[in-house]
Amino acid sequence: MPISVFDLFKIGVGPSSSHTVGPMQAAFKYVTTLREDSLLTDVGHLEVHLYGSLSATGVGHATDHAIIMGLMGERPDTIDPSMIDPAIKALKESQSLPLGRQKNVMFNWDRDLYFHEESLPHHPNAMRLAAFTSQGQLLYENTYYSIGGGFVVEQAQVDRPLDDLGGVTIPYNFDTAEELLALCKQEQLSVSRLMLENEKVWRTEEEVRNELWRIWQVMCECIDNGLAHEGILPGGLNVKRRAKLLHQRLQAAEQNDCLIATTFSAMEWVNIFALAVNEENAAGGRMVTAPTNGAAGIIPAVLHYYMKFQANACEKNVVDFLLAAGAIGILCKKNASISGAEVGCQGEVGSACAMAAAGLADVMGGTPEQVEHAAEIGLEHNLGLTCDPVGGLVQIPCIERNAIATIKAINAAQMALHGDGTHFISLDKVIRTMRDTGRDMLDKYKETSKGGLAVNAIEC
């Protein structure tokens, strides 16, 4: 099925697209089905079962809270993050869940929430929801898979044959970077323009531009919030927010003419932008998946860098950046994965770095070949990156990792723009390598917090 740029850039909440946004969306879909099938009024109590990575790091990623909020009728794109903790506290005290905002049902946090070590066959991020009558009769159950970036599929979709999925037909369908480049050459289109033509299958051009601008505004709000907040991040690791203090120091240094050069200043700014986003994400704030929450700081930071330091930067640049970045995200998702639970952090930070590099190259006037080269450089130098969050929290090494990747993305774009687009290793080969590396990677390095820094950071 065709993937839209808006499938990659979704407004939600932190700290994880696969472990927070996806599960909340799945639970909301579950309640919607109960309502549409006229079953909601018969529900007496519920059970929530988490499997694989959702079970292993679900508490640290607030998966349990997200599912409960979805069952209460909240959606990740509209929920007020500040209401989550009070709602969970009230539920634990009353053992009563306002299902779909319509009916209170029994829910005992310690009895009705199950964490299973086993993984289900389709994907490591699996959850099963079951509703029962007051007499214990099963009313309806369904299994959902949160496959990365907030994407959710249910069991019926997994079981359905590929040729029975339906969907729209886009004018320029591409499954590989090679096909994308061939289409751009044939139609004499930039990568961003080709993506815009595809998006017009779902929305008018004005709607596409307005919605991408709205996405950008939420990204900017997230940066602003990250620069305004300070203190200790939740979760127990006592990680201190740094973005606000670093921002204040940078502003003071620039006012006093203490910075060595503009280039150094730009690097400082882009680091701070990324830290701000990912600290806000770790705190459970309003986010945009880009393409995931764990890697959500890279694209906003690089785009903010462009908008701040490029003379005459405008709304069109924002739209083109996100469209070109989206094209690369589609290739990564189609041919490998953007899920840390499936291929490690190379699928999250690596994909985001490649997307940001491509977006920057496009708005800097790069040819489609240079855009592809920028993405290739960005992804190639994140191959093998593991997902081993300490304490199951999207904090260490995730926050700093985003800042490092922003610099990589800018460097990748600059290197590609200095060339003519020809290079030895193609983006398709790098994406294929990411897929194969992810398959070979031990599960303990794929968002389970059972290996790597997650265990070596603990003092015995």
Radius of gyration of the chain (CA): 22
Strand partners, 144: 127, 154
* CA gap 362, 20 in Å, rounded: 32
| DSSP structure class, residue 123 | -
Q: Residue 285: how many CB atoms within 10 A of its CB?
A: 19
Tokens 């946004």 label which residue?
21
Alpha-carbon torsion angle 339, 344, 349, 355, nearest 10:
-60
pLDDT classification of 235: cutoffs 50, 70, 90 = very high
* Residue ranges covered by each domain of the chain: 17-164, 177-456
Q: What is the pLDDT, as a whole number, of residue 263?
A: 55
Tell me which of 378 and 311 has the higher pLDDT: 378
Residue 111 host element (H or E): helix 109-112
Q: Is omega for the bond preceding 2 within 30 degrees of 0, making it cis?
A: no
Q: What is the pLDDT, as a whole number, of residue 258?
A: 64
- Please determine, for residue 41, whether its predicted confidence score (pLDDT) is greater than 60: yes
- Please determine, for residue 259, whether its predicted confidence score (pLDDT) is greater than 60: no
- Per residue in 197-232, pLDDT (tens digit) is 999 999 999 999 999 999 999 999 999 999 999 999
Contact at 8 Å (CB) between 355 and 195? no
CB contact set of 205 (below 8 Å; sequence gap of 6+): 196
CB contact set of 82 (below 8 Å; sequence gap of 6+): none
Continuous H helices in 385-426: 398-417
When mean pLDDT is compared across 92-101, 247-256, 266-275, the lowest value belongs to: 247-256
The mean per-residue pLDDT over the stretch 146-165 comes to: 79
* CA gap 253, 405 in Å, rounded: 24
* CA gap 129, 71 in Å, rounded: 10
Q: Are strands 45-51 and 113-116 parallel, antiparallel or unpaired?
A: parallel
CB contact set of 204 (below 8 Å; sequence gap of 6+): none
Q: Please name which of 416, 150, 211, 404 lies closest in space to residue 298, comparing C-alpha atoms.
A: 404
pLDDT classification of 132: cutoffs 50, 70, 90 = very high
* CA gap 391, 60 in Å, rounded: 7
- Per residue in 401-425, pLDDT (tens digit) is 999 999 999 999 999 999 999 999 9
CA 135 to chain centre: 40
pLDDT classification of 323: cutoffs 50, 70, 90 = very high
pLDDT classification of 354: cutoffs 50, 70, 90 = very high
Reduced to 3 states (helix: H, G, I; strand: E, B; else coil), residue 382 is coil
pLDDT classification of 42: cutoffs 50, 70, 90 = very high
**What's domain 17-164's architecture?**
2-Layer Sandwich (3.30)
Q: Please name which of 53, 114, 48, 82 lies closest in space to residue 74, comparing C-alpha atoms.
A: 82
Mean model confidence pLDDT for the chain: 94
Q: What is the pLDDT, as a whole number, of residue 97?
A: 96
CA atoms within 13 A on the CB side of 44: 8
* CA gap 78, 75 in Å, rounded: 6
Contact at 8 Å (CB) between 183 and 164? no
DSSP per-residue string spanning 189-219: --HHHHHHHHHTTTS-HHHHHHHHHHHHHHH
Residue 402, class by beta-carbon neighbours within 10 Å (0-12 exposed, 13-18 middle, 19+ buried)? buried
* CA gap 66, 24 in Å, rounded: 5
* CA gap 391, 23 in Å, rounded: 20
Cα 378-77-277 angle, rounded to 5 deg: 40
